[in-house]
A and B are shown apart, each in its own frame.
Chain A
Amino acid sequence: MSPSPASHRREAGLPAILAAYRSGGRGAWDALMDTGGAVRPVWQSFIDHVAQIGASALQERFARADAHLASSGVVHRVYGDSDGVRPWPLSHMPVMIGADEWSHLAAGVIERAEVLNALLADAYGGSDLVTRGIIPAALYAGSPEWARPMVDASGDVKQPLRFYAVDLARGPDGQWWVMSDRTQAPSGAGYALENRLAMARALPDLYRHLQIARLAGFFQNFRSHLVSLKRNPDGRLGLMSPGPLNETYFEHAYLANYLGFVLVEGEDLVVRDGALFIRTVAGLQPCDVMWRRLDSDFTDPLELNTRSRLGVPGLLEAARRGAVTLANGIGSGLAESRAWMAMMPALAARHLGHPLRLPTQATWWGIDETARRIIHDRFDELLIGSAFGAPLPGIGTGFAPGGSLGVTDRAALLARLQNRGVDIVAQEKLATATTPVFDKGELTPRPFVLRVFAAFTGSGWEVMPGGFARVAESGDVGSVSLQRGGRSADVWVVSDQPVQAMSLLRGTDTPRIRRSPGALPSRAADNLFWLGRYVERTEFMARLARAALARTAHHESFIYAAIAATLTSWGALPQFTPLQPPAPSELGRVALHGETSQSIMALCRAALNAASIIRDRFSPDAWRVLNELAAMTQKPLTETLPEVEADDRMRDVLRVLAAFAGLAQENMNRLNGWRFLDLGRRIERGIGMARLIERFASDDPWACDLLLELGDSTLTYRLRYVDMPERISVTDLLMLDPANPRSVAFQMDRIADHLASLPQTGAHAAAGLAAEWQAALTNADAHLFDQALPGECAAGLLRLSELIIVDHVRPNGAGGNS
């Protein structure tokens, strides 16, 4: 007998995970279960399937999804938190939506995008709707987002909106309502992709079995459209981000990598003669299409917010001339004003000739007498908020129920309503429907909000068949925000039709990693170079500290002290009394976690910081390794660290760094990015080796042993020389032997190779210096070895490091460069 929906009726005995499921609780509409307690059809297969898996196996599978997210480094940033970065909170239940319902939603989202675009086009192109008396001038002029410098610009004015998101909630009757429009720089689409990958990993068979719409086609079509907007065949596509401190920076890097855009920040860009360029290691490269993820006001410190350090001086001039197309256009955030919510139903009906398919949450704007009276009379039961985002007494820039305000704020707001009602909006509270989350082994209904994305693709709008849902952590819809502890959920659009219904879409959601789209931005080169230096330096410090900890016997205490002194002079250990090096337990702890700028963990953090700025340059595997390193830096610091454990920690660091080096070697294409990373490593390794030789080269066997150990060349030495180690042969092997990958000469050869392969900028100081040193090391004879050579060579490498930056990272000369 095949199971029928009726078999899941309460009385017929529900699966265990549903045993305690209560539909809503407050009588609200629930996505999973109807008021009769029956599982809704769209959930049926899903519930059957997970019931079969069973609660404990399910938990394991969900842990797999979390592990995937954690190891991929999916994070979001919580403002006002000292640590800042949090793991990605995934709700393991998708939000399920049937295909019929979805097509209704999608049509509603598209018509709304069209209306908003038409209004924005009017706001930036003539404002006919105002002068004809159809909308009040305040609808545009009241908003700080109305970018006056862009009004009547000659550039692209027909399509100020190309990427749009809308937040939807279900009312108590299951009806979808529009809660807000996102027209500035909507976030969440990239996180939706990550959610999808994690869910497909947790429930692979179910994901294959159900007809779930794929997401990749949406992104491909949006990308193709942006590519079609290029004016210059050599022009680059950029994704403009505010940088790593932004809440959604992870997503910026992820999408740039996924779509093959250059991830840029303001300082990567420069305007020359009204056109936009990216500063790269091969000089300025034109950029004529930009996916803008930076709020408009910060994009140009000359014409907009003069305090912005994130923008590009002159960008607006370039945009006005049409030399660059921004998606979305400057000032598109205008349509996010809450005053627009009040006007949308009437304006949309006028534009479309019929009412909006998706109703807008009831909103009143205090510009007119009728609305002011309603707001006044129903003040306590409505949500009161700012019409254009300027802070209001007792409320700030958000929303608050009128009834929750204190006496003073209430009076101030009512007075404001009379003087300047135009600043105030009020909204009906919406009791939201619930969707299941998996909590403590069973399913529980929670309020949720759905974000749906739409992209303009040339001929019209396309809706991403899925979305980004936020589920409240409690029964209160206010806690849907991830900033307030909510979780995010994948959205599954399920069809009961065979697969060909989705045949226009690509069959896979696996991100296609496109590597190094064109020339490397200078800032990325700079950070890769320093990442290489920090990684190598970390390795040196760890090797030194381990060498010290391996020499704690009494008869070796002078060697221990000499190494400790070296660590101090290199900044990894603080100064200590000359006769009293730190005890081994102390040395390990301080070398790892000490407060000096060169302690192993401080160097790891510097490396991670450099890496975070160029997040888009690394494969997910490389990120997993870097995240492992990050976890190490966060290990709790104990009062003392037993030598064995300190040694373990250092070996872990070395292991992870080796893994990272391996991945960089194997997986980074041998393009300029890899060359800068490797240049950094070679410079640092050369400096470290030369300084060790300067410090320790002598005929004492212990010193020769130490040098060979630190130079990872003990085995090579034994294979080559049968004698006891002695100064001349050790120095030859570590300093001059071009075949030993640890020798200074080897590093110099690699450096010279890299410099010859980088894009030529006309500056040759670095290459010249490298060639001089190559010759000097080739001609040096270990038997006639000049004692000053290692020290001079280390200084030469430091100078080389500076010249590489001058010649290759900032190759455009003084003009226009920081």
Chain B
Amino acid sequence: MRYSVRQTTDYTYSEPVPSSRHIIRMEPVTRAGQEVVSHRLTILPRPSERVEGRDFFGNRVTHIAIDGPHDRFSVTVEAEIRITPTVTDAGGEDQSWEAIAAAALSAPMIGPDAPIHHLFPSRMVPIDTAITAYAAESFLPGRALLAAACDLNARIKSDFIYDPLATAVDTDPSHAFAWRRGVCQDFAHIMIAGLRGLGLPAAYVSGWLRTVAPDGEMRLEGADATHAWVSIWCGDQGWVGFDPTNGIRVGTDHIVLATGRDYADVAPLDGVIWSATGHSLAVAVDVIPVVEHDLDA
């Protein structure tokens, strides 16, 4: 599948901000299963400093500074991305989750893809006894990891209510868990907390979903903004994506923007403004499938 993505994030400040500094994580990179054909970041007002780079996990980051008063700040990303289905039936589906947990801890790996980064409590996802106990119901002794993960993914979809008013961007997973409500970020954090509580490496993924479902299919939740899901380390099979908000495995409708330990690592926009003013925020996302002309792809 080939997609054209366009996201605009627009801040309006109630009073002019004298200057600001931001980190932008809004441009996707080419990675397993997806190729970024083109990408462009437009920032208004024009930054006085702009430095591009990659973070520890390989995500594209842009550091900017805006010098001079501004009452609006907008970032638009436009990208064309080609998604190729990843082969997940490479065997080894029957590896027990305990064996994977032990392998994750002992693997002599510490690069960006290593499981070890996603095994420990992180800034927004502490180890939580109650969530771990909830997850453990799917992880019976000796059960294959993928089967158990599918079960947990489906349970979160059925046990929790999608409710954008229940939580905020900094809601603790234990609260969303107790309320059984939230949005994609909360469900991803809950699933991650449960998996890590059991000693399994689970990463947080931010990205996009196609906006309009193909004919005859339900529109997926989370398509109107940046979406979030979970990636689980499965030993030799590498990382496998689960979308607990929709209760599905990650497929060709999911476009990866960034990965990290939790939302704090991948927040699309972090910033410091030297002002005490209020702001309002508008986000608009379009993810349109593009007809492939070059069929040899």
A residues adjacent to B (C-beta < 8 A): 127, 130-133, 136-138, 140-142, 144, 148-149, 151, 271-274, 301-303, 305-306, 313-314, 317, 367, 388, 390-391, 393, 412, 419-420, 422-423, 814-818
Say which one of B117-125, B144-152, B177-185 lies at the interface with A: B117-125
Cβ contact within 8 Å between A422 and B105: yes
B272 within 8 A of A: yes
With a CB–CB cut-off of 8 A, which chain B residues contact A422?
Answer: 105, 119-120, 199
A-facing mask of B105-139, CB < 8 A → 1, else 0? Answer: 11111100010110111110011010010000000
User: Which of B49-57, B74-82, B83-91, B218-226 lies on the face that meets chain A?
Assistant: B49-57
- A314-B21, A390-B127, A419-B132 given as contacts; is B272 within 8 A of A301 (CB)? yes
Chain B residue at smallest Cβ distance from A297: B123
Q: Choose among B23, B110, B267 the residue that contacts A141 (Cβ–Cβ < 8 A).
A: B110
A-B contact sample (20 more), CB < 8 A, given A317-B51, A422-B120: A132-B108, A133-B108, A137-B116, A138-B120, A141-B117, A142-B116, A144-B122, A144-B123, A149-B56, A271-B21, A273-B49, A301-B272, A302-B23, A305-B123, A306-B267, A390-B121, A391-B126, A422-B119, A816-B19, A817-B274
A696 CA / B132 CA spacing, docked (Å): 76
Which residue from chain B places its CB closest to the CB of A308 in the assembled complex? B272
Instruction: Return chain B residues, CB-CB under 8 Å to A302.
Output: 21-23, 63, 270-272
Q: A138 contacts which of B67, B116, B121, B126 (Cβ < 8 Å)?
A: B116
Q: How many A-B contacts at CB < 8 Å in the complex?
A: 107
Q: Evaluate contact between A303 and B23: CB separation under 8 angstroms.
A: yes
Q: How large is the interface on B (under 10, 10 to 19, 20 to 34, 35 or more residues)?
A: 35 or more
A-B residue pairs in contact (CB < 8 Å), sample of 12: A138-B119, A138-B120, A144-B121, A148-B117, A149-B55, A149-B56, A274-B51, A302-B63, A303-B23, A306-B270, A314-B21, A816-B65
Q: How far is the CB of A413 from chain B (nearest CB, A)?
A: 11
Interface residue SS majority, chain B: mixed
Q: Do B18 and A313 touch (CB < 8 A)? A: no
Alpha-carbon distance A256/B264, docked complex (angstroms): 35
Q: Is the CB of A814 within 8 A of B19?
A: yes
Q: Could you tell me which residues of chain B, from 211 to 251, have a CB within 8 Å of some CB in chain A?
A: none
Contact call B274/A818, Cβ cutoff below 8 A: yes
Minimum CB–CB distance for A514 against chain B, Å: 32
Rounded to whole angstroms, the CA-CA distance of A136 and B22 in the bound complex is 35
Answer yes or no: B197 CB below 8 A from chain A CBs. yes
A125–chain B nearest beta-carbon distance, Å? 12
Of A127, A133, A314, the residue contacting B63 (CB under 8 A) is A314
B69 within 8 A of A: yes
Docked-complex contact B116 and A141, CB < 8 angstroms: yes
Q: Per a CB cutoff under 8 Å, which of B56, B106, B123 touches A136? A: B106
Q: B: which residues have CB within 8 A of A?
A: 18-19, 21-23, 49, 51, 55-57, 63, 65, 67-69, 105-110, 114, 116-117, 119-123, 126-127, 129, 132, 197-199, 264, 267, 270-272, 274
Given contacts A141-B116, A313-B21, contact A127 B105 (CB under 8 A): no
Task: For residue A298, give the distance in angstroms from its CB to the closest CB of chain B.
Answer: 13
The reply to whether B18 and A817 form a contact with Cβ atoms under 8 Å apart is yes
> Residue of B at shortest CB range from A130?
B110
The verdict on A419 contacting B19 (CB below 8 Å), with A137-B107, A141-B110, A141-B116 known, is no
User: B270 to A423, Cβ gap below 8 A?
Assistant: no
Which chain B residues border A390 with CB–CB below 8 Å?
120-121, 126-127
B121 surroundings in chain A (CB, below 8 A): 144, 390
Asked if A420 meets B127 with Cβ closer than 8 Å, knowing A138-B119, A816-B67, A817-B274, the reply is yes
Closest A-chain residue to B264, C-beta based? Answer: A306
Q: How far is the CB of A233 from chain B (nearest CB, A)?
A: 25
Min CB gap A343→B, angstroms: 15
Q: Is the CB of B197 within 8 A of A420?
A: yes
| Alpha-carbon separation in the docked complex, A422 to B102 (Å) | 11
Alpha-carbon gap, A391 to B121, bound state (A): 10
For A271, A391, A815, the residue with the greatest tally of chain B CB atoms inside 10 Å of its CB is A815
A814: chain B residues at CB < 8 Å are 18-19, 68-69
Closest 3 CB pairs of A and B: A148-B56, A137-B116, A814-B18
Rounded to whole Å, the gap between the CB of A128 and the closest CB of chain B is 10
Separation of A177 and B183 alpha carbons in the complex (Å): 51
Residues of A within 8 A of B68 (CB): 814-815
Q: Are B270 and A141 in contact (CB under 8 A)?
A: no
Chain A residues with CB under 8 A of B106: 136
- Report yes or no: A317 in contact with B63, Cβ–Cβ below 8 A: yes
Q: How far is the CA of A815 from the CA of B270 in the complex (A)?
A: 19
Tell me the minimal C-beta distance from A133 to chain B in angstroms: 5
Pick from B68, B122, B127 the residue with the most CB of A within 10 Å.
B127
Alpha-carbon separation in the docked complex, A297 to B218 (Å): 43
Decide: B109 and A137 in contact? CB cutoff 8 A: yes
CB distance from B245 to the nearest CB of A (A): 24
Distance of A301 Cα from B122 Cα, bound (Å): 16
